[in-house]
Structure 1
Amino acid sequence: MTSDPREFLHALFRAAIDSADPARTLARHLPERPRGRVVVVGAGKSAAAMARAVEAEWPDVTGVVVTRYGHAVPTRRIEVIEAAHPVPDANSTMAAARILQAVSGLGPDDLVLALISGGGSALMTAPAPGLTLEDKMRVNRLLLASGAPISVMNRVRRRLSAVKGGRLALAAAPARVVTLAISDVPGDDPRAIASGPTVHDPEAGADLSDVVAQLGADLPEAARALLLAQAAPLPAFQADYRLIAAPLMALQAAAEVARAQGVSPLILGDAIEGEASAAGHIMAGIAQSVLRHGLPVARPAVLLSGGETTVTIGAQKPGRGGRNTEFLLALAVALEGANVHALAGDTDGIDGSEDAAGALIGPDTLARAQAAGLDARAVLAGHDSYSLFDALGDLIKTGPTLTNVNDFRAILIR
Structure 2
Amino acid sequence: MMQDPERFLRNLFDQAVAVADPMVALPGVLGEKPKGRVLVVGAGKASARMAEALESAWGPCEGLVITRYGYERPCDGIRIASAAHPVPDAAGAAATLEMLALVQGLSAEDTVICLISGGASSLLTVPVPGVTLEELQQVNADLLASGAPISLMNALRKHLCQAKGGQLAAAAYPAKVVSYLISDVPGDEPGMIGSGPTVGEPRDLQSALAALAEYGVQLPEHIVAAAQAHGGVLAPGDARLSTTENILFASPRQSLEAARRVAEEAGCRVEILDDALEGEARDVAAVQADLARKHSADGPLVLLSGGELTVTRRGDGVGGPNAEFALALAVALNGMAGIYAIACDTDGVDGAAEVAGAIIGPDTLAKAEKMDADAQAALAINDAHGFFGRIGAQVVPGPTLTNVNDFRAILITG
Which TM-score band (shorter chain)? over 0.9
Q: Match of 1:274, SS?
A: strand
Cα root mean square deviation, aligned:
1.8
Q: Residue 323 of structure 2 is aligned with which of 321, 325, 336?
A: 325
Gaps of 5+ in 1: 293-297
Name the CA distance, whole Å, in 1 between partners of 2:162 and 2:229.
Answer: 16
- Report the Cα offset of residue 34 of structure 1: 2.8
Name the CA distance, whole Å, in 2 between partners of 1:247 and 1:197.
Answer: 21
The code of the aligned residue for 2:273 comes to: L
Aligned counterparts, 1:193-204, within 5 A: 193-204=193-204
The code of the aligned residue for 1:324 comes to: N
Aligned counterparts, 1:5-404, within 5 A: 5-204=5-204, 207-211=207-211, 213-214=213-214, 219-226=219-226, 234=234, 235-236=238-239, 237-238=241-242, 239-292=244-297, 298-314=298-314, 317-339=315-337, 340-404=339-403
Name the CA distance, whole Å, in 2 between partners of 1:127 and 1:412.
Answer: 45
- Report the Cα offset of residue 211 of structure 1: 4.3
Q: Residues 348-374 of structure 1, C-alpha deviation per residue, up to 9 Å, x if partnerless?
A: 001111121111000011111112112
- Report the Cα offset of residue 61 of structure 1: 1.5
- Note closer, same or farther for the CA distance 1:202–1:388 as it changes in structure 2 (3 Å cut): same
- Report the Cα offset of residue 232 of structure 1: 7.8
The code of the aligned residue for 2:325 comes to: F
- Note closer, same or farther for the CA distance 1:331–1:404 as it changes in structure 2 (3 Å cut): same
Report what 1:411 is aligned to.
Answer: 410
Q: Match of 1:79, SS?
A: strand
Q: Match of 1:177, SS?
A: strand
- Bigger Cα displacement from structure 2, 149-158 vs 95-104: 95-104
Name the CA distance, whole Å, in 2 between partners of 1:141 and 1:291.
Answer: 40
Q: Match of 1:309, SS?
A: strand
- Note closer, same or farther for the CA distance 1:353–1:217 as it changes in structure 2 (3 Å cut): closer
Name the CA distance, whole Å, in 2 between partners of 1:226 and 1:253.
Answer: 46
- Report the Cα offset of residue 233 of structure 1: 6.8
Q: Match of 1:380, SS?
A: helix
- Bigger Cα displacement from structure 2, 192-201 vs 96-105: 96-105
- Note closer, same or farther for the CA distance 1:57–1:290 as it changes in structure 2 (3 Å cut): same
- Note closer, same or farther for the CA distance 1:83–1:323 as it changes in structure 2 (3 Å cut): same
Name the CA distance, whole Å, in 2 between partners of 1:363 and 1:217.
Answer: 39
- Bigger Cα displacement from structure 2, 341-350 vs 209-218: 209-218
- Report the Cα offset of residue 218 of structure 1: 7.0
TM-score (norm 2): 0.94
Q: Match of 1:162, SS?
A: coil
- Note closer, same or farther for the CA distance 1:344–1:400 as it changes in structure 2 (3 Å cut): same
Q: Match of 1:153, SS?
A: helix
The code of the aligned residue for 2:346 comes to: T
- Bigger Cα displacement from structure 2, 22-31 vs 300-309: 22-31
- Bigger Cα displacement from structure 2, 130-139 vs 161-170: 130-139
Contact 1:321 1:384 in 2 (8 A): yes
Name the CA distance, whole Å, in 2 between partners of 1:354 and 1:212.
Answer: 25
- Bigger Cα displacement from structure 2, 130-139 vs 345-354: 130-139
Gaps of 5+ in 2: none
Q: Match of 1:192, SS?
A: helix
The code of the aligned residue for 1:335 comes to: L
- Report the Cα offset of residue 225 of structure 1: 2.9
- Note closer, same or farther for the CA distance 1:14–1:206 as it changes in structure 2 (3 Å cut): same
- Report the Cα offset of residue 30 of structure 1: 1.4
- Note closer, same or farther for the CA distance 1:79–1:205 as it changes in structure 2 (3 Å cut): same
Contact 1:138 1:219 in 2 (8 A): no
Name the CA distance, whole Å, in 2 between partners of 1:233 and 1:142.
Answer: 22
Name the CA distance, whole Å, in 2 between partners of 1:263 and 1:122.
Answer: 39
- Report the Cα offset of residue 379 of structure 1: 1.4
Q: Match of 1:18, SS?
A: helix
- Report the Cα offset of residue 20 of structure 1: 0.4
Q: Match of 1:71, SS?
A: coil
Contact 1:156 1:227 in 2 (8 A): no
Name the CA distance, whole Å, in 2 between partners of 1:184 and 1:288.
Answer: 29
- Report the Cα offset of residue 220 of structure 1: 3.7
Contact 1:178 1:240 in 2 (8 A): yes
Name the CA distance, whole Å, in 1 between partners of 2:250 and 2:99.
Answer: 23
- Bigger Cα displacement from structure 2, 79-88 vs 104-113: 104-113
Name the CA distance, whole Å, in 2 between partners of 1:23 and 1:407.
Answer: 20
Q: Match of 1:181, SS?
A: strand
Q: Match of 2:376, SS?
A: helix
The code of the aligned residue for 1:276 comes to: A
